[in-house]
Structure 1
Amino acid sequence: MTVVFIGFITSSCANRFYVGGEDGWVEKPSETYTHWAARNRFQINDTLVFKYKKGEDSVLVVDEMDYDACNISKPKDKMEDGYSTFVLERSGPMFFISGVPGKCRNGQKLCIVVIASRDKKGTPYQPPSIAPAASPVASPAHSPAAETPSASYVLSVSGASVVMGVIAVLLGLF
């Protein structure tokens, strides 16, 4: 019951990602946006936060062709308030570039891949099936070295590992 509850809590939480970390949305960050994006895992309902100087920059949501060409003339969306938030509402690739001419070509552009939600409502959890252990061909009867762990033992050990991993992650968040 505890595992299900913890799993539900972690799967229903959306995250906020501050684009560029401490640098924010700038022309020459200390870490490239490609590297920053690769370190993160984006899911539906997560939020991207772009911090930049209002009046000196903006964020454009563009398609892949405009991203590759750094074309600022036909954005799908434009954000320019200096502290812009963008909720990730669908899975798949998303493309962002600076709205200031030249900054995109200097690396101020971001491509992320949004993955589907952690849980699918209405789909019951199906634990992985465990194949039966193969019997040894010519082993002496009741040899302790030839015995294999039972499926329930394997499940309890792997289940305990999952619980410990989830608890470690949750403790790391606080």
Structure 2
Amino acid sequence: MEASKGLAALLLVAGVTMALMDSAGAYVFYAGGRDGWVLHPSENYGDWAERNRFQVADTIVFKYKKGEDSVLVVSKQDYDACDVNKPIQKLDGGDSVFKFDRSGPFYFISGAPGNCQQGQKLVVVVMAVRHCPPISSPPSLPPSPPPTSKPPASSPSPAPVSHGPAPPPFPEPRPPTPAPSAAPVPGSPPPTSSGAGISPAPTPIEPPSSSSSSSSSSSSYASNWSLGKTLLLMVLGASFFA
């Protein structure tokens, strides 16, 4: 039983001293922390406001007893002078709730006579709204151009054509033909074999030259002339002696 009461007290203190988040995502702050909207809080209102961060749409709650105190929203001049005669807005229903509808400073003072002069006053500075750029889909890229056909590879230039007659093809090597065997010349030595299956070429017989022929003819003619002359002398001598 005692543990349940202690847990409930801790939850109550945590709800008073800490900022809570409502269903809309905004925070709810309790002015002065656990002490509430009182004359002499344990923590100065200025220090409490400096360690918190307020944004547009957040809410601040002033806890006090109805009829004993009130909350006045005033200008900076009235805040500095603690003037309670012309407030911008007056909250006196007890546990008053104020919602921040803009950024900038807000000035609060107590409506009880003399409390503002004793330090029951609060300045809340609401942070400016930061507009985040909407998340947009990435820009669509332009369609890629169709692939262009590559130019044909340059073929090597043909060799210059000669207009002259084409050279004859190289003759294929032919096997050596055996030389015809010549009739053996009388008085010449028999041929000897210089290789397997190949007879040596016969020695050519040179024909007699024209000078030899003429000399031979002259010799024959001289011989015949001498012979004829001898025969004639013999005939003449025989007829003389007869």
> In which range does the TM-score fall when normalised by the shorter chain?
0.5 to 0.7
User: What secondary structure, in the 3-state scheme, does the structure 2 residue paired with 1:72 have?
Assistant: coil
User: What secondary structure, in the 3-state scheme, does the structure 2 residue paired with 1:85 have?
Assistant: strand
Whose strand fraction is larger, Structure 1's or Structure 2's? 1
2:55 is equivalent to residue 43 of structure 1: yes
Question: Quick one: which amino acid aligns to residue 34 of structure 2?
Answer: E
1:129-140 equivalences under 5 Å are none
Alpha-carbon distance, 1:52 to partner: 0.4
Identity of paired residues, percent? Answer: 59
The runs of 5 or more residues in structure 2 that have no matched partner are 1-23, 136-242
Question: Quick one: which amino acid aligns to residue 103 of structure 1?
Answer: N
Q: Which residue of 2 aligns with 1:124?
A: 134
Alpha-carbon distance, 1:73 to partner: 0.2
Question: Quick one: which amino acid aligns to residue 35 of structure 1?
Answer: D
Question: Quick one: which amino acid aligns to residue 68 of structure 1?
Answer: D
1:5-154 equivalences under 5 Å are 13-117=25-129, 119-120=130-131, 123-124=133-134
TM-score, normalised with respect to structure 1: 0.62
User: What secondary structure, in the 3-state scheme, does the structure 1 residue paired with 2:116 have?
Assistant: coil
User: What secondary structure, in the 3-state scheme, does the structure 2 residue paired with 1:43 have?
Assistant: coil
In 2, the alpha carbon distance for the partners of 1:30 and 1:98 equals 17
Higher relative contact order (CA 8 A, sep 6+): 1
In 2, the alpha carbon distance for the partners of 1:89 and 1:108 equals 23
Alpha-carbon distance, 1:112 to partner: 1.1
CA RMSD of aligned residues (A): 1.7
User: What secondary structure, in the 3-state scheme, does the structure 1 residue paired with 2:106 have?
Assistant: strand
TM-score, normalised with respect to structure 2: 0.45
